[in-house]
Amino acid sequence: MSGPRLPEARGELSGTVLSALLDGRRPRPPSSPSSPSSPDRHDPYGDDLQLALYLLYELHYQGFEEVPDDREWDPDLLALRRLLEDRFLSALRADVPPRSDAGRALDGLLVEPTGHDDTSVSHHLQRDGELWQFREYAALRSLYHLKEADPHAWVIPRLRGRAKAGMVAVEFDEFGAGRADEIHARLFADLMRDLGLDTDYGHYLGSAPAEALATVNLMSLFGLHRALRGALVGHFATVEVTSSPGSRRLATALRRLGAGAAAQRFYDEHVEADAVHEQVVRHEVVGGLLAEEPGLEADIAFGVHATGFLEDRLAAHLLTAWRQQRSALRVPLSDGGHSRIGVRGGGTRGS
């Protein structure tokens, strides 16, 4: 099985990574923070750094069509990745105020707005969203949903007791409870096909703005580092706590827009399953981890708030573009994003 094709560079950092991946040359990490090529001189949330980091992380997933599998553990690529990660993580720690109460952080996610919420993508799509906007949203979310639950699986060997058992129970459902046709990544590919989108894994990487890449990179960052296992659990808990109400709104939006049964099913499944998952995650995964390692509470809270911070940035990007009736993608969908439901996308790899 081959992976997706490499995208175009967005600057010096991503260009360095792409050159190293394509021709096998050693990337040249900067010798000092003052070097013009140092990650410290680049926007930690910008297109160049986020794409470079995404490319390096993707070597641990499906890889790329043109890149040998053994580059996954290339020491020079790993050294460069560490510099990019340090820049990203340092920025997050500076922008997300430190908090130590994980329970309070999760409780805050349960508070639904009482009036008109003009900062929420799911509220917008439910109430006013157009078909072309939902198609753009699905294209961007495909960067995660076509590998749904994979980043979170890395934390399983780093947990013990109740936390491990609870995590495996939820992941078992995410991976279809033993049925390939029920894997949530497969269900999302079915949704994309119903919306006339290409279902190839990684197809929309070149179209995704930095704000979308950062939300996926956060999962990989937390998942690949044992030292950040608490933050990964916080991220996972955030996803599960917010999924059911958000999925209900998105399912309603798809019905209003006349989407097919396959498109609706993905979110309908999450309304039901994640309402149960929320309780398992809060009481068994988070509660179990805190019982075993109480010193990780601040990390769990950081994971919750860092996730919200990056999701808010993505929402602001999407809603700003859509309210101006322009595409939120770097490369708009080939039909302009206004095609009718039912037009079939390209390939089916990843479905």
Structure confidence at residue 350 (pLDDT):
28
Structure confidence at residue 345 (pLDDT):
36
Domains and CATH numbers, the chain: 12-95 (no CATH), 102-323 (1.20.910.10)
* Cβ atoms within 10 Å, residue 333: 20
CA distance 109 to 142: 24
List the chain residues with pLDDT less than 50: 336-340, 342-351
CA angle 82, 77, 144 (to 5 degrees): 75
Q: Three-class SS of residue 52?
A: helix
Asked whether the beta carbons of 167 and 151 are under 8 A apart, the reply is no
DSSP letters, 318-343, are HHHHHHTTS--SSS--TTTT-PPTT-
Structure confidence at residue 271 (pLDDT):
84
With a CB cutoff of 8 Å and minimum separation 6, the contacts of 61 are: 147, 150
C-alpha dist (Å) from residue 150 to 143, 154, 175, 220, 287: 12, 7, 9, 9, 22
pTM: 0.92
One-letter amino acid at 142 equals: S
Structure confidence at residue 342 (pLDDT):
46
| Percent composition of the chain: helix, strand, coil (DSSP 3-state, to 5) | 65, 0, 35
One-letter amino acid at 248 equals: R
